[in-house]
Amino acid sequence: MKKFTTALALALCLAAAITLPALAQAREVTFTTELKSYGGDGAYVALYLTDADGQYQNTLWIAGEKSKYYKHLRDWARGSGQRSSEYDGLTGASVGSGRALNITLDIADEQIDAGYEVRVDTAVEDMRDNRADIVVPLTTEGAGQPVSGRGYVQSFHYTF
């Protein structure tokens, strides 16, 4: 009986090891945000996901190192509550005028073609803050399609 129990436990572990990776699939996605030449300081940029109802889901990246300025990324700040747990390990330097921000991340397959949107908020010191500078559905069809921003973003696209 002990051999049977051990064999059954081993079989269950093997089945779980084969099945779990299939359940938790992710796709590598590169997000490219090109800024206009706007003649000011480096921009703070928040990339984040919202669900089909426009509700904040999670932070993808924050460009800008001083958290005291994150409040100017208004829609992201409201959705995330500016909790450091929402951006720990997901930050980098601000993005200069006319420069590009390239971020490659793993995105869960369940968030692609499921009504999720990528949003980008931007802000520059002593200049205007831009809520929803970019709002684009996260779809396989939209991959590689450039989108123009409403503020500091010249062009935004993502690729798989």
Token code pair at residue 52: 């089909």
Considering the entire predicted model, what is its pTM? 0.85
Residue 40: the pLDDT is 93
Going through the chain in order, the beta strands assigned E by DSSP cover 26-35, 43-50, 56-63, 91-92, 100-108, 117-124, 129-137, 153-159
Query: What CA–CA distance (Å, rounded) separates 93 from 125?
Result: 14
Give the confidence band of 2 by pLDDT, cuts at 50, 70, 90.
Answer: low
Residue 131: the pLDDT is 97
Query: What CA–CA distance (Å, rounded) separates 27 from 119?
Result: 18
Query: What CA–CA distance (Å, rounded) separates 94 from 41?
Result: 9
* Amino acid at the residue 141: E
Give the confidence band of 23 by pLDDT, cuts at 50, 70, 90.
Answer: low
Is the pLDDT score of 10 beyond 80?
A: no
What are the backbone angles phi and psi of residue 84, rounded to the nearest 5°?
Answer: -60, -25
Is the pLDDT score of 115 beyond 60?
A: yes
